[in-house]
Structure 1
Amino acid sequence: MGELNVATVTRQPEVLLVDSQDAILQRLHQLLSAHSYVLHLAHDASEALKVMATREVDLIISAAHLPQMDGPSLLARIHQHYPDTTRILLTGDPDLKLIAKAINEGEIYRYLSKPWDDQELLLTLRQALEHQHSVRERQRLEALAQEQNTQLKALNAELEKRVASRTAELQQTADMLDLAYEELKHSYATGAELFSLLVNQRLPSDKQTNRRIIDLVRAYCKIHGLDAVAQRDLAMAAALHNIGKLSWSDSMMITPADWLHHHERDRYRAYPAQSESLLMTLEPVQDAARLIRHHQEHWDGSGFPDHLKGEAIPLGSRLLKLAVDFIELQCGLILERHMNSDEALVFIRKYAGRLYDPELVEGFIQVCSVYLSDVTLGDPSVKVLGTRELAAGMLLARNLNADNGMLLLNAGKVLSQPLVDKLIAFETMEGARYSVFVKLAREPQSGT
């Protein structure tokens, strides 16, 4: 059997180990530390209760014989004050009174004998946490169902009011589009950015992307010398590309694209065409609207809405795709994980020829290295390597983090061969693949 499915929980389970003997604690710690648990150690009941008071402990394994208070009494106390914590007794002798006390007063999940079988202990621990998670999930769903049933009548009563409010909101949006048409006659870019602000007001500040996308597109146009008409159309497309999302719910607006449910994915794939449809009545932005329609097409033809391929995709749409994905990857709007700027560029380079025009990718990366001060990928001395390509003497150019966000190594660390070997072993154990930003350490100058 595999590990507990941590994808269904929100954090690593916390396990408290209690035994008066250091050797036993260390053996348990060594056995469990290779698994995705947060471990706490205690030598007696007093230490254990202090941990319980400060941490959200999911499971406790306690020895039967402890100083001050025996294991069953401790587990009974925890059952009384922390009933959600799963309790397991570890006993070195078949003391039926102690076991009965643990079962009756501590309501333990199970007891194990010393010396224990490692695989049996791991299996018991995993099953206990899986059972605990299923109970918690059932309780959560029951509470949710009760809450939803309570709200159902109120929601039905409010339905007409909400429909009227939504209609008014859509009418207000349409009215704003009409008003913006006059403004666009005088200043297309200013009008486009007005709508950009309207879209962004629906989002939390850390997920407001339009301003950054507009600035990045303008930087690209300036560095690569695009003509004024192309610059204007691309800037307006950057400002208005996601106006078709205005009718989405707030939760859908901030959900990563790869987490959307099936019916939501259909709405997601429709937004470029919907954005174009909203803008096509405004003659000054019709060219920008065409760029918006195709900015989610993929170089290999797997995109949407029209499955255009290669150079059949308008150039401006290909550039907008790069800018939108670069910013949204950092805001957690495409994948659940928030990437930093270099990681986003590694992703883009990886999918050149599949999602992105391979002829544009390197030029785009160079623009980002000028536009953003925290991009190291634009530095020709910086290399992105897998762990098995690392060698002693290389210098970390960026912090190295595990997939769960834990900092593994700080930028500026000079790698040694034992450190490289540990990274490879850790990567193998985690089933991950790390991209490491490094540059060679300077060679010592002659005569020094």
Structure 2
Amino acid sequence: MDINYSDVDTLPSQPPAKARLLLVDDEENILRSLHRVMRREPYELAFARSGEEALQRLATETFDLVISDAHMPGISGPDLLARIKQKYPGCIRILLTGYTDLASTIAAINEGQIYRYISKPWEEDELRLTVRQALAFQYSERRRLALEQLTRAQNQELQVLNATLEDKVRARTEELEQTAGMLDLAYQELRQSYTTAAEVFSALINKRLPAKRQPNAKVIALVKAFAEHCQLDSALTWDVTMAAALYNLGKLSWPDQMIETPSELMGKVQREEYQRYPVTGEKLLMALEPLRNAACIIRHHQERWSGKGVPDQLAGEQIPLGARVLKLAVDFVEFQFGLILERKVSREDAITLVGRYKGLVYDPEMADQFLQMIVQQAPDVEGYDPAILRLDTLRVTPGMVLARNLYAASGMLLLNEGKVLTASLIEKLTAFEQNEPNGLRYELYVYPPENEEKETAS
């Protein structure tokens, strides 16, 4: 047996310049739309108008990636992708589906082990980015498999050499260590691909919420900071960070009105649906082996220390450690974003609420550590937006837009975030100020009028 150890150096350093894509849909207008989105990309495109036609083409041609609609006569999208997984496992698979088509999506993830699903109607830039990332992931996986195959061949040769000449074994040791290092690198690349995919999912989830009420990035930042503060091990930190990026995944099928409603204001039917979203999120991720721990964290992040949470009424230390961490971060952010209570609360009030419910909702020892970190080092969840101006009533002008809710000293809501200021409103605010105790002046967080923003940008 003669193995060339320099073969590792001949593996391509980047994905091939031109990939072959098969687009499957029974509607001609959808295929035309996909062609229009992809025509300027460096791909060779082929089309099939049914699952049967797609399988016929796959039997005689090689494709790197298949995008299939979920609902088609005959062979459905999930069934087609499951067959492709069995016969052509190297071909990466993407499903086109609607927000409410949860059953088909779960079937495709569990049986077809799809790379991603894309909701219709899609964002063109998102679709192109998803395909690029899928092909990059495919390349990373192919490289890893090639390195594993090469390592197995080298190990077989090593057994033969060991039986005849130990000196050759010593001569090959350094080369084997180099190959093992490259395998580690390939594994890190694969792990990074999952991280990137999680970030993309997180961005998609955020698109269902208003721009000023998107919690995932803040939750991720808090989880990372708390993991460092408590010196959690790297594996748990990675798992809980992935869970922070994807904890809202189970809400993707909700209607827009429900996804924007604070949980405190939900009716009975909505509340039941709300309590199911951690389990739905877990199911969507369980087929992905590297994300199984994150999926378990997502399932239990709405459990309560008292045992009165969902879905399994776990109590105390029965709740996974990562889920306890995520619960603290999620509630602290969502309190301030107005996703739990009827109105947004201040950072100080969020700190008070976490302290008040430790031992009931939160792990008491962990809550103390979390609040210690928040007071010492964590920035305000509101973050810094250079476009926001902080002005008193004498300096605001008509056309400005409120960036935050405005409250009187009594706590009464005066104006909602997003309200466009008019001359009459400014006059009324000035009049209200005269009745405030101790000469209190209102501070308004506002965006400048649109025409001023355009002039500044130009």
**Normalising TM by the smaller chain, what interval?**
0.3 to 0.5
The TM-score, its normalising length taken from structure 2, stands at 0.45
Structure with the greater alpha carbon radius of gyration: 1
